[in-house]
Chains A and B, each alone.
Chain A
Amino acid sequence: MTLDIDTLQIGAPLPMLNLPAITRTTLALYAGASGDHNPVHIDIDFARQAGMPDVFAHGMLSMAYLGRMLTNWVPQQQIRSFGARFVGITNLGDRLQCVGRVVEFLEHRGERVVKIEIQTRNQDGETKVLGQALVGNPSINRAHSDNLNLFPGFSI
């Protein structure tokens, strides 16, 4: 399903995404899977030496959650840009909520797009990541191989 951006109303909310509490396991798995092995996120001794009370979440984990909210709502091919500012530390135990809303229509690289403002906040309502995305209509020349055979040798 594609999204026709011209059907969107300014101010309309995106379906929100609620995440489970951040645990040490969350961070260990994210460190391994993302390739961001900075020990400040996974090793409490290192974090303390760096002047932090404990390990804390990778900013890019929160951005990945925001990405999930966006792609739950719109096909990824329609996302033209995606940016985030990490304004607060996301701590162990934080239960993040991703929210977003449609803010304006504008022109971007010669295309009509809609700007979406997004953020993560924790259970106390503290904003941790502020972001935005630009979403366009599906490209007419997008490669779409309807007749692709996924399993050569078999016909579907």
Chain B
Amino acid sequence: MISKDFIGMTFAPHTVCVEAGRLQFFLKAIGETGPVYTDRYASHDAGYDEFPVPPTYLFCLELEKPDPFFHLTAIGVDIARVLHGEMSFDYYLPVSVGDCLTFNASIADIYDKKGGALEFIVIDNRVTNQNNDHVADLRSTVIQRNGQA
């Protein structure tokens, strides 16, 4: 069982800048061809100086650290046995290519169901940009399946 003492634990912030090429690869992987994301003029007409990141890309930027799953492995979660349970984003300001974001992660909750067969780990991330403006909040719930081969 993962200790509930980890609830409230915070991690050192990590900063990552939005790179054009990496973003383009992501758009390809999800099949996004919308003009706002791929055509400079359309993007500009929509009010962006640089290409915006699509709604779920903040999750990818959060993973961009030496060990992408550090927040889980650090508290003893086995990534072979995890499933993503829930994910949510609250958006306050747009994020575009060239922005440098800082992620402040914390363990919001740990609980179990079915007599410990399923453990739930809730991780929050507060995201600020290079101007120290609060751009978004992320909440991710990961489920560890216990008692299986």
- Binding site secondary structure of chain B: mixed
For residue A16, which residues in chain B have a CB less than 8 angstroms away from its CB?
none
On chain A, the number of residues with a Cβ less than 8 Å from chain B's Cβ atoms is 47
Q: How large, as a class, is the contact surface on chain B?
A: 35 or more
A11 at the interface (CB under 8 A from B): no
* Chain B residues closer than 8 Å to A144, beta-carbon distance: 47
From A58, A63, A80, A148, give the contact of B91 (CB < 8 A): A80
Contacts of A86 in B (CB 8 A): 83-87
Contact of B34 among A61, A71, A82 (CB under 8 A): A71
A30 to B25, CA, bound (A): 9
**Chain A residue nearest to B33 in the complex (CB):** A68
CA distance A36 to B68 in the complex (A): 7
Whether A84 contacts B36 by the Cβ 8 Å rule is: no
**Which residues of A (28-78) have their CB < 8 Å from a CB of B?**
29-30, 32-38, 40, 46, 49-51, 58-61, 63-65, 67-68, 70-72, 75-77
Give the complex CA separation of A58 and B79 in angstroms: 13
Q: Is the CB of A34 within 8 A of B54?
A: no
Asked if residues B85 and A68 are in contact (CB atoms below 8 Å), the reply is no
Is the CB–CB distance between B30 and A68 below 8 Å?
Answer: yes
Residues on B with beta carbons closer than 8 Å to the beta carbon of A34 = 26, 29, 59-60, 63
Which residue of A is nearest B65, CB measured? A35
Q: Could you say which of A46, A65, A76 contacts B30, with CB atoms under 8 Å apart? A: A65
Given A63-B87, A82-B89, A150-B44, list of 6 further CB < 8 A pairs?
A: A26-B29, A35-B60, A35-B63, A35-B68, A60-B59, A64-B32
